[in-house]
Amino acid sequence: MPRAVDHEARRTQILEALVRLAARNGLHTVTMRSVATETGVSLRLVQYYFTSKARLMNAALRYLERRSHERWQARLDTLHDGHSVREYLDAFFAEALPTDAESRAFHLVWTSFAVLAMTDPHLAGQPFVEGPNRLEAGLAEILRRAQSVGTMAASRDADLEAARLVTINHGLGTSVLAGQRTPAQAMDAFGYHLDQLLGPAPNAAAVSRER
């Protein structure tokens, strides 16, 4: 009998090849043919799963977002039960920094998508901002939890603070990627901002309240 094809695995294989190619040579060099070559499959197969370059790029965005959340969740799983909002945000930023091959590729390709979306009419029509919007919404909910237990002032706007956290994350990540500062220096800068937002790392009583 013919061997069953795992279509989701094949799609993932193609998207991983796109990310490798874009991280190595730049997103502007990516074509459906070059992705096929990188994957080691035919152009027709890439076209079967992704009928156009715009659809391929859009799928790559969703793949990057999913992998980022998977890595973030894996880091969160190492925290103790009842971890504080501060620890949650520290884990988010530590995962977001480009400190290994996968996170560097993610940051490089994501930044390239942002630049390309400004000038490419096909990519601009795709939901590029949906990922950051979902991230901001999730962080805003975390900050509202901090407000509910008194670790963030009720007078602060959780949505605007979440937008600021995402912006700081992107900026510091780019500075690490460019060699302007080390990951440790970026963590110090992010920690300084969290000190202003949430105060020092919560004590045991605050951790207990957030369980």
Query: Could you tell me the mean pLDDT of each successive run of 10 residues in the chain, 211 residues long?
Result: 73 95 88 96 96 88 86 82 84 86 84 79 65 89 93 95 93 92 93 89 41 32
Angle at the Cα of 96 from the Cα atoms of 137 and 155, rounded to 5 degrees: 40
Three-state DSSP state, 134: helix
Structure tokens at 6: 């795992």
Residue 4 lies in a domain: no
What backbone torsions phi and psi does residue 85 show, to the nearest 5 degrees? -60, -40
Number of domains in the chain: 1
Question: Nearest-CA neighbor of 11 among 53, 52, 39, 30?
Answer: 39
Q: At what angle do helices 158-177 and 130-148 cross, to 10 degrees?
A: 120
pTM over 0.85: no
Residue 51 lies in a domain: no
Q: What's the rounded Cα separation, in Å, for the pair 86 and 73?
A: 15
Residue 134 lies in a domain: yes
Residue 116 lies in a domain: yes
Structure tokens at 172: 């510091």
Residue 124 lies in a domain: yes
Residue 95 lies in a domain: yes
Residue 171 lies in a domain: yes
| DSSP3 helix / strand / coil % (the chain, rounded to 5) | 75, 0, 25
DSSP 175-211: HHHTTSS-HHHHHHHHHHHHHHHH-SSP-HHHHHHT-
Q: At what angle do helices 183-198 and 85-96 cross, to 10 degrees?
A: 150
Structure tokens at 149: 């237990």
Are 22 and 30 in contact by the 8 Å Cβ rule? The answer is yes
Residue 121 lies in a domain: yes
Give me the pLDDT at residue 54, please: 84
CATH number at residue 73: 1.10.357.10
Instruction: Look up the domain containing 114 and give its range.
Output: 61-209
